[in-house]
Amino acid sequence: MEVKVKQQENEIKLALIGKGEYTLKPEYSHLKIEENLYWRKTSTQREAVFKKLLQAPLTSRVSGDDTREKENILSMSASDSNIDNIPYRILVDIFNDASQISTKKGNIIQSPGCTDIFYVADNKSKKAKEVAVNFKSWNIKCEKVCFRFNAYSICEHTLALAESRGGLRDYLAKYKLKKNRVTRKKGIKCDTKRKGSANKQSLEVNEYRQDTEVQRPDLNKQPFHLTFIAGIIRKCYGCGQSFSDKHRNVPNDLVLKRYDHRMYLSPRSKILKQSVSLQNTYFHLNVDCARKKDPQFEFKDVLIHNEIKQSLSDEHLLLLESLGIQR
């Protein structure tokens, strides 16, 4: 399941640079970033770009919120829910999608032999989502591959299921209670002070709920890109050896590129220093060289961008196929 979550998040991140199987909706087009600029960012900066997409409100919709909420046929609307931890426009979309699911009876089916597992139709794919529910506590959980549930712990599938069982109001009340507990203050101050504590400052202690069920894998690793060798590329950053003359000829003119902090010798101090920004580093098209920097490197993870694909010859393609590099 974690592998599917990783694949989905990777596809969403690729959509930010115009790659992969997903594309950004027009409402989010202003968040698109140039591919080269994206890969030059540090892992922290790239994750910030991704979080910005998750939290961004929709700004370019012509119709107003009232018009959008008229599409909702649920027993409660987004405005009635008083949920304030989700951008309102996104919340309205969740309610509208749940409403669309609820319009057809066959969209929610109980799993055979189970009283707490249901399959809920998904508007964006042909595969239904598996949703688990505890009717006593109205704790409802969608699959980990559900993008919205991963981001907000609520989605159109959980809303639609709660509505179908007449518990939407109870479910939303439970959801808000759990969210409010995140920053609830803990403990009651004692009226008497211990000896020696007069000069100590009291600290406000907050209790945070740790979500152990949804753990996102590390998606911040710098990938390797396939590219052609150029005149100024001289040394492999893996083995440290120079590129030979044979690497100037087809099909051996393909190398691996990775954005990283370069080490260089300061001309003045003669001290080895590290570059502040991420720069191009190059490697032989060789597993051993790449694993000097990334021990988990596999050829199947190499990225090939469109401008490189268009320049590959038949000899190049045969070489890539022999190495297991997917085009």
pLDDT one-digit tens code per residue, 179-222: 776 544 444 444 555 555 455 444 443 333 333 333 333 335 78
Instruction: Say what the pLDDT of residue 216 is.
Output: 32
In order, the DSSP letters of 182-250 are GG-B-----SSPPTT-TTPPP---B------S-------PPPPEEEE--TT--B-TTT-PBP-GGGGST
Residue from 82, 83, 51, 59 nearest 154 by CA: 83
Report the distance separating Cα 157 and Cα 148, nearest Å: 10
Report the distance separating Cα 174 and Cα 107, nearest Å: 24
The partner residues of 274 in beta bridges, in order of sequence, read: 263
**Chain centre distance of CA 299:** 22
Does residue 239 surpass a pLDDT of 70? yes
Instruction: Give the residue extent of every domain in the chain.
Output: 2-183, 225-323
Residue from 22, 1, 159 nearest 83 by CA: 159
Could you tell me which residue, 207 or 3, shows the higher pLDDT?
3
Q: Which two tokens stand for residue 270?
A: 């003669």
Mean pLDDT to the nearest integer, 247-260: 90
Does residue 66 surpass a pLDDT of 50? no
Q: Which two tokens stand for residue 75?
A: 């027993």
> For residue 225, what are the CA distances in angstroms to 71, 120, 145, 271?
45, 39, 27, 30
| Averaged pLDDT of the chain | 78
Say if residue 133 is exposed, middle or buried (CB neighbours under 10 Å; 0-12, 13-18, 19+). buried
> For residue 215, what are the CA distances in angstroms to 2, 145, 223, 280?
8, 11, 21, 32
Label residue 123 by pLDDT band (50, 70, 90).
confident
Instruction: Say what the pLDDT of residue 195 is.
Output: 52
Report the distance separating Cα 184 and Cα 198, nearest Å: 26
Positive or negative torsion for Cα 148, 152, 158, 159:
negative
Residue from 76, 119, 79, 71 nearest 97 by CA: 71
Question: Angle 309-313-319 (CA atoms, 0-180°, nearest 5)?
Answer: 90
pLDDT one-digit tens code per residue, 20-60: 667 777 777 777 887 767 777 777 777 877 777 777 665 44
The partner residues of 110 in beta bridges, in order of sequence, read: 118
Going across the sheet that includes 279-283, the strands are 225-228, 254-260, 279-283
Instruction: Say what the pLDDT of residue 148 is.
Output: 86
Residue type at position 118: F
Instruction: Say what the pLDDT of residue 247 is.
Output: 85
Does residue 171 surpass a pLDDT of 80? yes
Mean pLDDT to the nearest integer, 153-157: 92
Scan for tokens 């504590």, then name that residue.
197
Q: 309: number of CA atoms within 13 Å, CB side?
A: 8
Report the distance separating Cα 251 and Cα 262, nearest Å: 27
Phi-psi region of 64 (alpha: psi -120 to 50; beta: other; left: phi over 0): beta
Strand-strand pairing, 263-265 and 272-274: antiparallel
Listed range (3-17, 98-112, 127-141, 257-271) with the worst mean pLDDT: 3-17
pLDDT one-digit tens code per residue, 80-95: 888 887 877 788 889 9
Label residue 4 by pLDDT band (50, 70, 90).
low
pTM for this entry: 0.40
Does residue 238 surpass a pLDDT of 60? yes
Mean pLDDT to the nearest integer, 300-313: 85
Listed range (37-51, 58-72, 251-265, 282-296) with the worst mean pLDDT: 58-72
Residue from 2, 22, 1 nearest 12 by CA: 22
Instruction: Say what the pLDDT of residue 254 is.
Output: 93
